[in-house]
Amino acid sequence: MTETIMLMGTSSHVGKSILATALCRIFYQAGRRVVPFKAQNMALNSYVTKDGGEMGRAQVAQAEAAGLAPMVDMNPVLLKPTGNSCSQVIVDGKPIGNMSAREYHKGKSVQLFGHVTAALTRLQQQFDTIVIEGAGSPAEINLKEDDIVNMRVAKYLQAPVLLIADIDRGGSLAALVGTLELLDEEELALVKGLVINKFRGDVTLMTPAVDFLEQKTGKPVLGIVPYLEHLGIDDEDSVSLEEKEHEAERQKQTKELRLAVVETPKISNFTDFDALADEPDAEVLYVRDAEELLAAAPDVILLPGSKNTTEDLLHVRESGLAQAIRQLVDGGTPLVGICGGYQMLGEEIADPHHTESSYDVVKGLGYLPMKTVFAEEKRTVQVAADCPGMEFYDGVLMGKGLSGYEIHMGRTEFTAPVRHPFHLTRQGENAVNIWDGALSEDGRIFGTYLHGVFDHDGFRRQFLNVLRLHKGLRPLPVQRNRHLEKERAYDRLAETVRKSLDMEKLAAIMEGRA
């Protein structure tokens, strides 16, 4: 029989994803066949699985912690906000259309619960432990009737629930008590324990609070988890992006290289730049307007992916960012675009089917001789590529067996001969011979559809060393082993949470002995 544990929060961003990741690692280290699960995610950061399905990145990190390859059954429903209270709805890894919040929550969501239960059934057949993550709060009365990610899942599985509160933001005791007060009798019975997360300071000072909670609620407090910084684990959404910006502000002017990421309103897959930010000589700054970009005086400008490329492109132009980018590029600053950012570098973007916006055509930034047309079908595929020798800036970038993924609606065609920086050798399971991306004539601007290209240690270090050489700095050897560091991060996280929680009590809860 498959054991389950479900983590719910008193609100969003209390640390459910990280604690679920920790439990996945703890159970994996104990030799269990453990798998993560979240019925419905809402995030702009997504990932493409080996079979071409799209899923949320939180379950990708949890899968890695559990020693598994990510698969869409871990996250059968994904909502990707497109703006104006609308989202693209992705079911079993494939988009089924765009819907307003009202249309989805008042009609479609409950219809999709069959996909949730089907995914759970398949996981139960393969694994002995499922770590389940909820979303937001189970006590949001206005959403409860149509909820498919919190108590509907717990009731379906009769899964024991741990309720988590974030003490760092304040009001955690009231949040725990209040959330329990708003649950019905069956839901309340499923909550088997409480967890206080993100605690700073002397944990012994929390003894009166723990005693109060247990007496007031009749629920045991399984532990107090300390505030964990610099985890080195992929983030999922815009709130974690805000945390990155705060961290960048703390590190301001302490590193030799400054990389400016243009933060557009619909920025997506900003995890493309996490590996760069982890380098000891690279400071990654997220800039929202022309003034911030010019003040940053960056060594390179990075245009990220976007969930709504046409509207983000209009924002770049209307906000003055396009003019600031032009000023810096004309002064010699290199410019790199990934996915949606790559599309923006061309002459125009056409959306004849209005798959992303109401605009038929939007003028591009004009740096590369190409035009992009949005198709009705999204391309989602894992790829392998070589970089045979890109003459970028003052150096040459090379790499073999670079793995990544594509996730885009646009199909790009070139209006003049152009150099392509990457040679695709595999798409999914198929061997291919396709060139990707474009490089400007002067070698200072390039774009690519490849997400994850900077995750490769050697290529990333070459990229940074080219910037260093231009500044008269000596090149550095490879500084990071990203795979090894992520594995160590999962182990550190698991060790901290294992020490913080009453693991015997958790085992009793999962085995039904509590």
354 catalytic? Reply is no
Is residue 223 within 8 Å of 502, Cβ to Cβ?
yes
Structure tokens belonging to residue 43:
């995030």
> Which residue do the tokens 């007496």 mark?
215
336: closest CA among 463, 457, 244, 475?
A: 463
As a whole number of angstroms, the distance between CA 286 and CA 276 comes to: 13
Amino acid at 423: H
Strands (E), 273-369: 282-287, 300-303, 305-306, 335-338, 348-350, 361-363
> Which residue do the tokens 């990203």 mark?
482
Helix (H) or strand (E) holding 7: strand 3-9
Helix (H) or strand (E) holding 9: strand 3-9
Q: Is 48 left (phi over 0), alpha (psi -120 to 50) or beta?
A: beta
Judged by DSSP in three states, 21 sits in: helix
Please state the separation of Cα 288 from the chain's center in Å: 19
**Given the residues 115, 423, 451, 456, the one annotated as active site:** 451
353 catalytic? Reply is no
Amino acid at 42: M
Amino acid at 400: K
- The dihedral through the CA atoms of 55, 480, 68, 164 has a sign that is negative
188: closest CA among 199, 179, 197, 196?
A: 179
Amino acid at 212: F
For residue 438, what are the β-bridge partners? 447
**Given the residues 339, 408, 423, 456, the one annotated as active site:** 339
Catalytic residues: 339, 451
